[in-house]
Amino acid sequence: MHHLWIKCGCGAESDRPAPADVMDLSREDILARARCGRCRSRNAVDMRRYWNPGANALDGAREIGDGPAEW
């Protein structure tokens, strides 16, 4: 599963599963769209895409309110 690590100008960092729609975007487009969870600005200064083989493959497919997977 692809993940995004993004750093804001305020110093906050976020590491999240990458939605499928951002995988075709350029680095500049992703940085421009990212919003900081701490200061709420769109001031992203750095970003990394990476593959996390240990992640739950359904994390990127879930919608808000779906709740945890039941296995």
CA distance 68 to 71: 9
Reported as type and span, the H/E element at residue 48 is strand 44-51
What's residue 31's pLDDT? 92
Beta strands across the sheet bearing 44-51: 13-17, 2-8, 44-51
27 within 8 A of 18, measured Cβ to Cβ: no
Can you tell me the mean pLDDT for 42-68? 73
Q: Name the amino acid, one letter, at 53.
A: P
Q: Is the pTM of this model over 0.75?
A: no
